[in-house]
Structures are given as C-alpha cells and as structure tokens.
Amino acid sequence: MNPWNSAAAEQQLQRTRRDFLLSSASGVGAAGLGALLSGDGLLGPQMAVADDAMGGAAASPLAPQSSHFPGKAKACIFIFMAGAPSQLDLFDPKPKLMELHGQKMPESLLKGVRFAFLKPDTATLMAPTERKWQRHGECGMELSDLLPHIGQCADDICLIRSLHSEQFNHHPGQLLMQCGRAQFGLPVMGSWLTYGLGSESQNLPGYVVLTAGRGSSGGATLWQSGFLPSTYSGVLFRSQGEPVLNLANPDGLPPSLQRKGLDVLREVNSRKYATMHDPEISSRIASYELAFRMQAAAPELIDLSGETPQTLEMYGVDRKDPSGGGRGSGGSSTYSTFARNCLLARRMVERGVRFINIIHASWDHHSNLDRELSWNAGMADQPIAALIQDLKQRGMLDETMVVWGTEFGRTPLGENRNGRAAVTGRDHHPYAFSMFLAGGGVRGGQVYGKSDEIGWGVAEDPVHINDLHATMLHLFGLDHLRLTYRFQGRDFRLTDVGGHVVEPLLA
C-alpha cells in the first residue's frame, strides 16, 4: 500500500466527516427555524412543505393551507367580461350626460389624455339615450334595463362605481386586473389564491378557467402562474365534450398499466426532487397524479343530467343565440355555453375548487353599441343572476365570492374614428368604471364610490385595482402584504407596491 495514498485517503475521510457534521447541524437548525417561521405564518406555503422520509415531495402543492386570519370567503368565481362593458349603459346612470348629449367636453378634461381610437378634437358627449334605469331591491340600486335579472339580486350585490386604472389598452389592462401589474410573467389572482390557501378539492384543479365567446386579448396570459410553480396555473376546461384535452387514455392503454407508469414516474421524479429540491418537480408529480384522478372526476363534473329541469331553465342552459351578436359571439352557442359555465362554476365550488375564472369576450363596443351590448347583456344577465340565487338558496353564497369584472370602462364621448360616418360606440376609458361583487363576506345592497356627473373621473371613494385585490384577499383571510413569493431577489405580491383594504365593502 502506498503510504502517501493512505494518508491522503485518511485526510479526505476526515474532511468528509467534518462536512457531514457541519451540513447536518445547519440542516437541523434550518429545519427548526423553518418550522418556527412557518408556524408564525412568515414563510410562504411553498417553503413550509417538508420532504418525506424517502426524500420525495411529501405533500401536494395544492394541499389546503392555513390563512393568516379567519376569512369569510372559501371560493371565488370571477366572471371576467373582457373588452370592457360600458358602465354608462349598464351600471352608472348620468342624468347630466343626458342634458349635455351632443355637446363638446371641456378642453381642460382632455388635456394629456390618451385614447385608443377616439379623436378628441371633434368628439362630443354621448348619452345612453336607448336605456331606461330602474331601482331594484330594498337598497334601491339603479341599474340599466339591460340587467333585469341581476337587478333581482341587488340586495346581495356591492356595486363599485369608482374603479380606476392606468391602462387604456386591452391586454395591459387585462394583465393589471388579473396580475396586479401590467407586465408579462406575473402570477394571476387565481394563482396567488391557490398558492396562499391551496385547494379543498382532491380530484379537480384548484384553479379552473372556463371561456365563451371569441377569446380575450390576453389569451392564456390571463391564467398563468408566472414565477409561481406551474401547479398554480389555471386549467382550461371545456363545458362540453372531453373536459380537458388529452385527459382520456388512448385506446389500448388499460388503467392498471397507466397506474404502473405513473408510479415509476413518481419514483423517478421523487429521487430528482430529493437532489434538486426544485418546486417545479413537485408540481410535476402533483400534476400527473391529479390528471389520473380527474379522468373520473372531470366527466362527472360536466355531466348535468343530475340537475333538475328547473335549475337548467333558471340558468338558461338551453337558450339559443339571437341574431346580432357581433363581437360577443363565438359561434352558434355562446348563450348556452356561458350559461353552462355559470352552472359548472357552482358545481366546482361544491367539489372544493378554490378559484373559477369565467371569461367572455368581447365587450369592446367601438361601434354598434346598442345592438351588441344588448346581445351581450342578454347572454350574461340571466345566468349570473341564477348563479347568485342558486348559491344563496343552497347556503353557499356566504362563503363564495362572485365577481363581475373587466379591464376598464368606456368613454362618455362617442367614438369618432376616421372612416366612421356615425358615432355608434365608445372608446376605452380607465379613469372611472364599475364592477360588482356578491357573497364571500361582501356587504351587499350598497353602491360604493361615485363618478363625476358625466362619468369621466372618480368623484368620491376611488378604488384602484390593487385596492380591489387587497380587499378580496382580506375576505379570504389573507394579508396582501404577507402573501409574498421571493423571485430573483425580490419579494413579490399580487398588489405590487400598492393596495389597501376597502373596509366599507366588508360585511
């Protein structure tokens, strides 16, 4: 034996022992510190997940998590009307605008304002002359004649007339509404919520997306998880046919063989996770297992045969599309698809899904406003009202937040872009617009905030989109300042560097 080699080997052995003891001590200390911080709610959910004895991922990333404090809401159905409905024709009556119809707006209000298409030099004020307004419920909430069914839910609704944004084009505005900032690569609201709370559902995703109409400007960026692990992304469902594309086994693959293959994948991925501790590997394991369970759960979910005829009629599931859909139509069954989506959202909440996004496009009415807005409102009014009423009669509304939202509003000025002979629509308008919420701890039967007498800007109680997000998270028991994720050396949150809880919105 070479003595020099023996001495070198002994030195290497001693170094290895020291390294082992040092790293073990550090690991035990870090584990203890992590447990203390997690118990105090100072670590994000992804840092609180421990490894099992074999070194694999111990728990699903979507396992239920504790909130920062007791919350009233358990699930959210966010109905996103992409394209921006006209608040002046639906939610915010303006008698003064009727008086000033056809007149020029003061130049002082137009100074420095950017429009998508409108030419401010020749634009004139345009009142919703075709609309009639009616008070609803004990609260006396005024809504347009285009929303008679939603009007029946007025005492459960909190209507905000003072939303404002900085973005006047669709995709940036949609990113701001969904992500808290108009920037690519950020997690959306549904991802933040499932990251913070996990999901009660074992057999369906924690975050599901349902679409109708022609498709939104933002596309899949409106349900991305950004820098969060991909398990928190929205999963796009179809309301008919195969719920998720490629979910069913191909012909000739029996479930037993599929199960064996998944077991091998889990073992390989668990070994990789034990080495890399990459949360994306944990997401991969969870996704394979969830897809396996969804093969039975998803078809049962979209099977409406167990619903009563009265329920199907209440939602309007069998309605046919009228003519004149324009930009709101995505084919020959938009009315039916949207109604099914609303009913499916209720069924998902019953099965523990945390966040459901119902997206319909488009409400971008630069022209043909009266005809196409009437078509879209007719599509949305009955099913949304049915959803609120259905949740309430089942005792689910108190813990389910229903939100009607959009990226911005429409101008009180009629659009006059070049080449248009008549003013028949409205341009984009981020300075004052309307949304409403119901259930989930929201104080219904109230109108919060006020726009000015022509609907140009906010006159009272402004609510920024970051404020809306902070309030929604609060109702789920989450402090928007503490719900963070560290990425590239910075702690990110849904509300970015803004946001405050709007206390009057809370029941």
Q: Could you report the per-residue pLDDT of 63-120, keeping only the tens digit for each?
A: 999 999 999 999 999 999 999 999 999 999 999 999 999 999 888 888 889 899 998 8
Residue segments in the chain with a per-residue pLDDT below the cut of 50:
1-10, 12-13, 17-58
For helices 465-475 and 189-197, give the axis angle rounded to 10 degrees.
30
E-only strand ranges, 111-189: 133-136, 141-144, 157-164
CA geometry: angle 378, 317, 358, nearest 5 deg: 70
Q: Which helix (H) or strand (E) holds 314?
A: helix 309-315
What number of other Cβ atoms are within 10 A of residue 497's Cβ?
8
DSSP 154: G
CA distance 180 to 177: 6
The tokens describing 311, both together, are 């329920």
pLDDT of 53: 34
pLDDT of 24: 43
pLDDT of 45: 45
Contact 359, 405 (CB under 8 A): no
What number of other Cβ atoms are within 10 A of residue 71's Cβ?
17
CA distance 119 to 367: 14
pLDDT of 272: 82
pLDDT in tens, 254-269: 878 777 777 787 888 8
DSSP 455: S
Q: Which of 454, 464, 455, 409 is nearest to 434 (CA)?
A: 409
User: What sign has the CA pseudo-torsion 46, 47, 49, 52?
Assistant: positive
pLDDT of 254: 81
Contact 49, 57 (CB under 8 A): yes
The tokens describing 390, both together, are 């259905």
CA distance 204 to 296: 10
CA distance 282 to 149: 45
- Residue holding tokens 């809504």? 143
Q: How distant, in Å, are the alpha carbons of 182, 408, 488 from that of 465?
A: 11, 10, 25
User: What sign has the CA pseudo-torsion 15, 18, 22, 25?
Assistant: positive
Contact 334, 323 (CB under 8 A): no
